[in-house]
Amino acid sequence: MKLIILDRDGVINYDSDQFIKSPDEWKPLPGSLEAIARLTQSGYRVVVATNQSGVGRGLFDMPTLNAIHEKMHKACAQAGGRIDAVFFCPHAADADCKCRKPKSGMIEEIAERYGMDLHGVLSVGDSLRDLEASVRLGAQPVLVLTGKGQKTQAKGGLPLGTLVYADLAAVVATLVQE
């Protein structure tokens, strides 16, 4: 099985320091939905792993998060793609849970759900915590320069072997040869 793990905010859609708190605020980055469609059409299972501390902070509730994800699923489908699953951590940063990236609980859950070793599986994010969570399980860290990606790259300290691309579409163009 071919699997790819994507962070949501800053990779698939525009990010916001004030959080994405409603379906209206969820806006796809240029080329991201088409990139997911190319992955889907090439036999990849596309899985999203996203911290959503806005739930734990009381900025939005679970029905709203579900509505945001429903909009994302529909937008991907309209572009010819599919997101197979969305894994998320609803906890605030101070909750000390096991699922919030950079901890690897969410990524472990993905490995368990799909019954596979994640060694070499691409894990695409725009922040250091996205990369750190996946690299613990042997996934290949990929930094995109959208969202917080440029700031992340400038800070340095990326996991050894991190691949860097302009955006999700550039990752997919390299991965999926026509």
Residues acting as catalytic residues: 7, 9
DSSP 20: -
Dmax (CA) of the chain:
45
Residue type, 48: V
What is the SS3 assignment for 145?
coil
Backbone angles phi, psi at 128, to 5 degrees: -60, -40
Closest Cα to residue 52, out of 12, 91, 97, 104?
91
Tell me how far CA of residue 69 lies from CA of 13, 23, 87, 97, in angstroms.
11, 8, 11, 22
CA distance 47 to 82: 9
CA 56 – CA 97 distance, rounded (Å): 11
d(CA 134, CA 98) in angstroms, rounded, equals: 13
